[in-house]
A and B are shown apart, each in its own frame.
Chain A
Amino acid sequence: MRAVLYPLLALFVLASLPWVFPTGSAGEVMGLPGWAVYTLVVSLVYASAVSFFVRRFWDAGEAGKGALSEED
């Protein structure tokens, strides 16, 4: 289950940049560039998701035998 989250984290990294806005886009939200506000909102969602993953999916692996290699 945990490994499924890794591609999701990569998707968050990609989505944090405003690719969906056309180049030169200058729309505003409360006086700020719309694309900058978008980035901030996605970054906040990204941070919340990571915090949740750390809380819910923290996995230190099996103890003792097999920690380093298959022959271990």
Chain B
Amino acid sequence: MSDPTTSQEAFLGPLGILFIGLYVSSLLVVGWFGLRARKEDTLNDFYLGGRNLGFVILLFTMFATQYSGNTLMGYPGKAYRSGFEMIFVVASMVTVTAVLFIYAPRLRRLSELRGYITPGDFIQDRFGSRTLTNLVTLMGILALVNYLITNLKALGYVVENVTGGAIGFETSVAALAVVMIAYEAMGGMRSVAWTDVTQGVILFVGGLLLLAGALAVYGGGETLTTLQRERPEMWSLPDTRSLTTWLGTVILLGLGNALYPHTVQRIYASRSQRALQRSLQIMVFMPFFISLVMILIGLLTAARFPGLDATESDRAIMYLLRDLAANSPAMKAVGVIFIAAVIAATMSTIDSALLSMSAMVTADFYRPLRPDVPQERLTKFGKHATVFVMAAAVALTIWLKDKTIFSIIVFKHELLIQLAPALMIGVHWKRLSAMPVLVGMIAGAATAVTMTLGIGWPETKPLGMHAGVWGLAVNLVLLLGLQAVGGKGGRAESGSTVRQ
């Protein structure tokens, strides 16, 4: 049996590649059905599916979008490197729903009343400041570009690895990007949400099957014994400074994931309050079926393939698939299902981020410049913007190929959580005015960026806490202070609805 960590053999044969090809083609068919189901050529219909996502579709589209290539490829690699500490991430994903509980009900009602398409629509309607709206949109786009890159990167690794290099990293990233642009341009949110149902099921089943299969082959007890022998340090509780860093990670991931523009878009797209409420009641338990499962799989790889470096550990799960497949045809089938899950989930995440970026560029940047342009031309502009953004993301992905995935994920959240006061406090506190929010956000982002890069600060994580959390503290202190001395309250001037 060949060494799974050095094998260059293709995991997928011609049949497997055909299976993946058929799956990818089926997305184009779904895109076409999405186009056929279109009721009107408007931003509302294209970007929000006519605000008609029911409980089941909403649950799966939130699930498949939130758990993706980052979870399936990044988490096992991080668990390989960090050990049981990675279990702290489960609380961060529970926190995502807790944060949504705080701001989503009221934001959804406002979006229904006033016709929001993007987070920027709420900010503009609520605060009446174009500067603040542009800043929020720009930060959202930066975060999503990052999100696109991490997922495209995961996609490239998977395809290259499972085809034994027959389809290279660069080729797979570029080809799948073209497919995603095509089906998204046809069906918009409907195509994205409909494919998410299938993708969510495959994602849910794929992870669980792989864990069950690996435990059946290696044995849970034996794996633990091996792990304790190879990596005894994993059993020791980290020191208080490390726990503080993990607390920062929980805050970063919990707030950041709940504030993603595409998450906000799904709040707007829900058919009713009840549909959103029911989907969140279930969503909150998903970390135990995905995040935790992938962490346990990462620990299994640490026991099975000791001694991998940081870059290799991100690929450890692929080594596991090869190793299991060599044991039995059944495990080979489980491996194929898991690969399908990775590709499905990753593509569903990318298309959601892309749709959201397209919406922001169109509704927040282009529409204010050309207020008289009809809806169909706005939608057309958004589709062109999608192509440009995707091309840039593909180029960056290829350039960042050899950096570890998890570090990219964390950096993105440092900026994204600076949006929390504008959305979470702004939706509840009617007297909050634009200036304190704007100043707080700029100061928070500047703190997060300079501290992360080590510019003007003695260390990048003072007291062990992430730069983004320090930035958020600065953000909040300034917001509250400035509001107390000069806040005038409410919207600045316009106050007109954005419904079109």
A residues within 8 A CB of B113?
63-64, 67
Contact: A54 with B251, CB < 8 Å? no
0 or 1 for each of A26-58: is its CB under 8 Å from B? (1 = yes): 101001110110011011101100110111011
* Residue of B with least CB distance to A64: B113
**A46 and B84 within 8 A (CB):** no
Question: Does B19 belong to the interface (CB within 8 Å)?
Answer: no
Interface centre among A31, A47, A72 (most CB of B within 10 A): A47
Q: How far does the Cβ of B473 sit from chain A's closest Cβ, in whole Å?
A: 14
- What CA separation (Å) do A22 and B243 show in the bound complex? 12
Q: Which residues of B contact A13 (CB under 8 A)?
A: 91, 95, 98, 247, 250-251, 254
Contact A60 B243 (CB under 8 A): no
**CB-nearest residue of chain A relative to B97?**
A50
Residues B490 and A12 in contact, CB atoms below 8 Å apart:
no
> Within residues 268 to 285 of chain B, which ones have a CB less than 8 A from any CB in chain A?
273, 277, 280-282, 284-285
Query: Given contacts A35-B237, A47-B285, are A17 and B110 in contact (CB under 8 A)?
Result: no
* CB–CB A39/B88 < 8 A: yes
In the complex, the answer to whether B110 meets A47 with C-beta atoms within 8 Å is no
B residues near A39, Cβ cutoff 8 Å = 87-88, 90-91
Q: A36: which B residues are within 8 A, CB to CB?
A: 84, 87
Q: Would you give the shortest CB distance from B332 to chain A, in whole angstroms?
A: 29
Q: Are A54 and B88 in contact (CB under 8 A)?
A: no
Name the one of A16, A19, A32 contacting B84, with C-beta atoms under 8 angstroms: A32
Instruction: Determine if B87 and A26 form an interchain contact, defined as CB atoms under 8 angstroms apart.
Output: no
Once A39-B88, A51-B285 are accepted as A-B contacts, the answer to whether A26 and B430 lie under 8 Å apart by CB is: no
Instruction: Please tell me if the beta carbons of B87 and A40 are within 8 angstroms of each other in the complex.
Output: yes
Interface size on B, residues (CB 8 A): 52
| Cβ-defined contact, B94 with A47, below 8 A | yes
The one of A26, A28, A50, A68 that contacts B126, using a Cβ cutoff of 8 Å: A68
On whether the beta carbons of B284 and A58 are closer than 8 Å, the reply is: no
* Chain A proximity mask over B339-353: 1 for CB below 8 Å, otherwise 0: 000000000000000
Q: Contacting B238 at CB < 8 Å: which of A12, A23, A55, A72? A: A23
- A67 to B287 alpha-carbon distance, docked (Å): 34
A53 touches B237 (CB 8 A): no
Interface centre among B235, B273, B285, B431 (most CB of A within 10 A): B235
Query: Is B281 a contact partner of A31 (Cβ separation < 8 A)?
Result: no
Minimal Cβ-Cβ distance residue in A for B105:
A60
B491 is an interface residue with CB less than 8 A from chain A: yes
Please judge, given known A-B contacts A31-B224, A40-B87, A47-B94, whether A17 and B247 are in contact too, CB under 8 Å.
Answer: yes
Min CB distance A9 to B, Å, is: 5
Q: State the CA gap A24–B234 with chains docked (Å).
A: 10
> Of B237, B277, B430, which contacts A25 at CB under 8 A?
B237
Q: Please, which residues of chain B bring their CB within 8 A of the CB of A66?
A: 430
* Most A Cβ at <10 Å: residue of B236, B277, B284, B491: B284
**Most chain B Cβ neighbours within 10 Å, of A22, A33, A43, A57:** A43
Q: Which residues of A contact B254 (CB under 8 A)?
A: 13
- Give Cα A60 to B109, complex, Å: 6
Question: Which residue of the partner chain, among A14, A16, A21, A68, contacts B491 with CB atoms under 8 Å?
Answer: A68
Q: How far is the CB of B126 from chain A (nearest CB, A)?
A: 6
Residue of B nearest to A40 (CB): B87
Partner of A54, one of B97, B109, B114, B235: B97
Q: Choose one: A21, A26, A59, A68; the contact of B110 (CB below 8 Å).
A: A68
Quick check: is B106 within 8 A (CB to CB) of the other chain? yes
A31 cross-chain contacts in B, Cβ below 8 A: 221, 224, 228
Q: From B106, B108, B221, B250, give the contact of A17 (CB < 8 A).
A: B250
B98 in contact with A33 (CB, 8 Å): no
B:206-224 near A, CB below 8 Å: 221, 224
Q: What are some 26 contacts across the A-B interface (CB < 8 A)? A: A9-B98, A12-B91, A12-B98, A13-B247, A17-B91, A17-B243, A23-B237, A23-B239, A40-B87, A42-B91, A46-B91, A51-B282, A51-B285, A55-B281, A57-B101, A58-B105, A59-B106, A61-B109, A63-B109, A63-B113, A64-B113, A66-B430, A68-B125, A69-B430, A69-B495, A72-B491
Nearest 8 pairs between A and B by C-beta? A69-B490, A16-B91, A60-B109, A36-B84, A60-B105, A25-B237, A61-B106, A26-B235
The interface of chain A, by Cβ under 8 A from chain B, is 6, 9, 12-14, 16-19, 21-26, 28, 31-33, 35-36, 39-40, 42-44, 46-47, 50-51, 53-55, 57-61, 63-64, 66-72
Further pairs besides A59-B106, A72-B491: 9, Cβ < 8 Å: A12-B91, A13-B251, A17-B91, A17-B246, A24-B239, A35-B237, A51-B97, A55-B281, A68-B126
- Which residues from chain B sit less than 8 Å from chain A, CB to CB? 84, 87-88, 90-91, 94-95, 97-98, 101-102, 105-106, 108-110, 113-114, 125-126, 221, 224, 228, 234-240, 243, 246-247, 250-251, 254, 273, 277, 280-282, 284-285, 287-288, 292, 430-431, 489-491, 495
